[in-house]
Amino acid sequence: MTRAWLGISAFLMMCTSPPLAAQGDPCVPGGLHRPSDDLYCLYLVAAPRAPAGVSGHVILDIAPGPFTVAVTRDGIHRYRPRLVLAGLPAPRDVAPEATAYVAWATTPRYGEWVRLGAVTNGTTTLAEIAFNQFIVVITAEADAETTERNGPVVLRGGSPSTRMQPPDFMEFATGVIGMTADELAAQGEHAGHQMHQATPSADSAVRWTTVPMPEGFAMLPAEMALRPGVGAQLPRATATTPMARRAEVVRLADGDTLTLRAGVVRKRIHGREHVMLGFNGQIPGPVLQVERGTSVTVHFVNELDQPSSVHWHGLRQDWTMDGAPPLSQDPVPPGATFTYTLKFPDAGLYWYHPHVREEMQQDLGLSGNIMVRGMSGLPNIGGEELLLLDDILIGDDGLVPFGLEHPTHALMGRFGNVILVNGEPRWHDTTSGGANIRLWFTNAANTRTFNVVASNAIMLLVAADMGPYAVPIEVESVVIAPAERYAVDIFPDGTGDVVIANQVQALDHLYGQFVAQVDTLGVISVPRRTNLVQLYMHPAETRGDLPDASAGISPSPLTSRPDHVFEFGLRPRDLPFTTSRMMLLDSAYFHPVEWSGTMPMMNWATTAAQAEWFVRDALTGLENEAASFTVKRGEVRTMRLVNPRNSLHAMQHPVHIHGQRFVVMAVNGVPTDPAHRAWKDTVLLPAGGTVDLVVEFSNPGHWMLHCHIAEHVESGMMTHFTVEE
């Protein structure tokens, strides 16, 4: 076992120690101000017949688009590579008939080849690559325009994703993964609270069972023995507990009052009844429709058996109404009330949810949408629907319980195995004569990032969290992280019903492979008489409240010295032997986005007491609450978010800034297209990447900045800031 692990450790060191490159190149390790060089760089190795002194590497930029990651409709990541070469002699010095060098991308088994373009010494931007795993090859060819590879190989190198299996993996797997629970305990496993049934509290009969394994993935023997080291809890129903109703639309005028009750409900999913939570007896909660510039009063009544609150996500309002304990208020005790006065200065789609034990309360149904009307710059549309996306974790014995003393699933967050749309496993709508329809998406899941696609239709992205895009953007999918919102116009193409689905590539960490996962979210029925799609024109004069110079946002404020740099990472402690060793093996490669929960037992058994997620001010070294900062009202500042790849379990973080709005200006140092910018309050920060923001601090008060994976924020990944008058 020791010999195997030493071999793997050496392999990891080799993967994370790239050769030197030119000064200023993103592939040169540059600390916290750069993307991770070994996740977004590909180092080339000279072929045996290559001339001496030839070298090169590939910078894997994210393909241009409106999201901070770019994927195909199948969920495969898309890269726009930049090739840096040095030392190439004249092509005829490599092969007499050669006149040019050409770059290619191929799969690890050489089953498919894609021409990337002719290359020379220096930097060349190549054609897009969309493979889960790939090899870049440089050949000397007789024709620079050739579409078939024929010449000798000069340089080649594998993508970071090809190193998921270290060379002595099988020895490690048979030596450690196959050990029994008793053998693991003999190795010094901290098993006293990890490998036995945790004792529930005196007033709870809830017991841990197991968690379901995703289809197509194997459960390891050592994993099967893991259990959370905390008690288990689920809400309890009584004889009078009502069945949950579907969300109702509540239209509120200026000065209106609404009572919002959080309580226990019963809900039937796939024919089976579960005890969950709802606002006003509804899952999701009521859809609040208001006009921009109005103000309403909400009386919150906590009918749960634990403290709660209501956070009004994205609203730029009075900070004392933000619903974010302990900063803006104390938690509302069971049986108590709190009155919120809400203001709506910005049109857009917002949502509300608890900010106390949200990994449980939100997951069990406490969330709802707010539609603030009055957004200018949107095209006319045939109809619209609000779709709140969520998931829930259901095992053989019903809902998988939640941690009593601390949250479970603290590594990756709680992935559900049943996807819900507006609280139901399947959504359905019918177009009027096949007319276009606008879908407003909200991601209310604890941790799942969706890749939403539409078959038999064209998708145009028209708005983000807090405002419209300058012009509609045609997309093949919509990447939406927890807490993000997007508006998409769907145009049926006349070939059949429109199927809305989530299509991703799940990562099998154990065997180093990708598994396609497809979940149907809903269907839009299209009448057979529908004609082919006719796209609208977007009038330039109705661009609306867009992020430009007139709004105080410089069109290109990128700087090598941002005002703030925040790093997001994990500091585990007292992990079981199996979990810590498997996480080290997993560290050979991290995908930019963890799309699915394919390490369910290790993730489930790790509690917030064992996973300390942090936000670190990279300029001061201070973390979490100590990393707080102060700005003046009206200031516009640059902020760089950094997600180091060298964390023990690096994964994406949807970062939410309370009470303000921002624009994404760059991803991994590459400026975003101005046409792809819109006002946002939450951004997806991919693993190993950096995202540059320009933040408009216009709303005074005390506010939070945190990751919106519910288990991460409950495990400490949060800081705060003050906007002074």
Give 147-193 pLDDT, tens digit per residue.
999 999 999 999 999 987 655 554 544 444 444 445 544 444 443 34
Domain, as residue range, for 615? 549-724
Once rounded to an integer, what is the mean pLDDT over residues 520-543? 65
What's the pTM? Answer: 0.90
Domain boundary among 163, 180, 196: 163
Give 346-383 pLDDT, tens digit per residue.
999 999 999 999 999 999 999 999 999 999 888 888 88
Residue-level pLDDT at 322 = 97
Give 493-528 pLDDT, tens digit per residue.
888 899 999 999 999 887 788 999 999 999 999 887
Residue-level pLDDT at 702 = 97
Mean of per-residue pLDDT scores for the chain = 87
Give 591-646 pLDDT, tens digit per residue.
999 999 988 998 999 999 999 999 999 999 999 999 999 999 999 999 999 999 88
Residue-level pLDDT at 204 = 53
Once rounded to an integer, what is the mean pLDDT over residues 291-304? 97
Residue-level pLDDT at 10 = 31
Residue-level pLDDT at 205 = 76
SS3 707: strand
Residue 291 is inside which H or E element, if any?
A: strand 287-291
189 in any annotated domain: no
Q: Of residues 570 and 163, which shows the higher confidence score?
A: 570
SS3 56: strand
582 in any annotated domain: yes
Q: Of residues 50 and 582, which shows the higher confidence score?
A: 50
Residue 284: cis peptide before it, omega within 30 degrees of 0: yes
Residue-level pLDDT at 29 = 61
- CA 590, 596, 597, 599 dihedral sign is negative
* Poorest-pLDDT segment among 81-85, 533-537, 665-669: 533-537
635 in any annotated domain: yes
283 in any annotated domain: no
Residue-level pLDDT at 558 = 56
Q: Which residues contact 428 (CB under 8 A, 6 or more apart)?
A: 522, 523, 524, 525
Once rounded to an integer, what is the mean pLDDT over residues 321-350? 97
Give the Cα separation of 433 and 529 in Å (integer). 7
- CA 643, 413, 449, 423 dihedral sign is negative
Where does the pLDDT of residue 536 fall: very low under 50, low under 70, confident under 90, or very high at 90 and above? low
Domain boundary among 112, 140, 163: 163
Q: Phi and psi dihedrals of 373, rounded to 5? A: -75, 160
Give 7-60 pLDDT, tens digit per residue.
323 322 333 333 323 334 667 665 556 788 889 999 999 998 889 999 999 999
Residue type present at position 630: T
**Which domain CATH number covers 571?**
2.60.40.420
365 in any annotated domain: no
* Poorest-pLDDT segment among 162-166, 238-242, 424-428, 596-600: 162-166
Give the Cα separation of 161 and 77 in Å (integer). 11
Angle at 219 between CA 410 and CA 444, to 5 degrees: 40
652, 592 contact by CB (below 8 A): yes
Once rounded to an integer, what is the mean pLDDT over residues 654-671? 96
Residue type present at position 337: T
44, 135 contact by CB (below 8 A): no
719, 625 contact by CB (below 8 A): yes
Q: Which of 434, 611, 618 is nearest to 532 (CA)?
A: 434
- CA 42, 48, 49, 50 dihedral sign is positive
Does 137 score more than 50 pLDDT?
yes
Q: Which of 366, 339, 354, 359 is nearest to 281 (CA)?
A: 366
Q: How many domains does the chain have?
A: 2
Give the Cα separation of 240 and 622 in Å (integer). 50
Residue-level pLDDT at 434 = 62
Does 547 score more than 80 pLDDT?
no
Q: What phi-psi label fits residue 222: left (phi over 0), alpha (psi between -120 and 50 degrees) or beta?
A: alpha
Q: Of residues 647 and 17, which shows the higher confidence score?
A: 647
Instruction: Judge residue 380's burial from the number of C-beta atoms within 10 Å of its C-beta, 0-12 exposed, 13-18 middle, 19 or more buried.
Output: exposed
381 in any annotated domain: no
249 in any annotated domain: no
Q: Which of 605, 538, 571 is nearest to 227 (CA)?
A: 605
Domain boundary among 114, 136, 163: 163
Q: Phi and psi dihedrals of 676, rounded to 5? A: -100, 15
Where does the pLDDT of residue 579 fall: very low under 50, low under 70, confident under 90, or very high at 90 and above? confident
154 in any annotated domain: yes
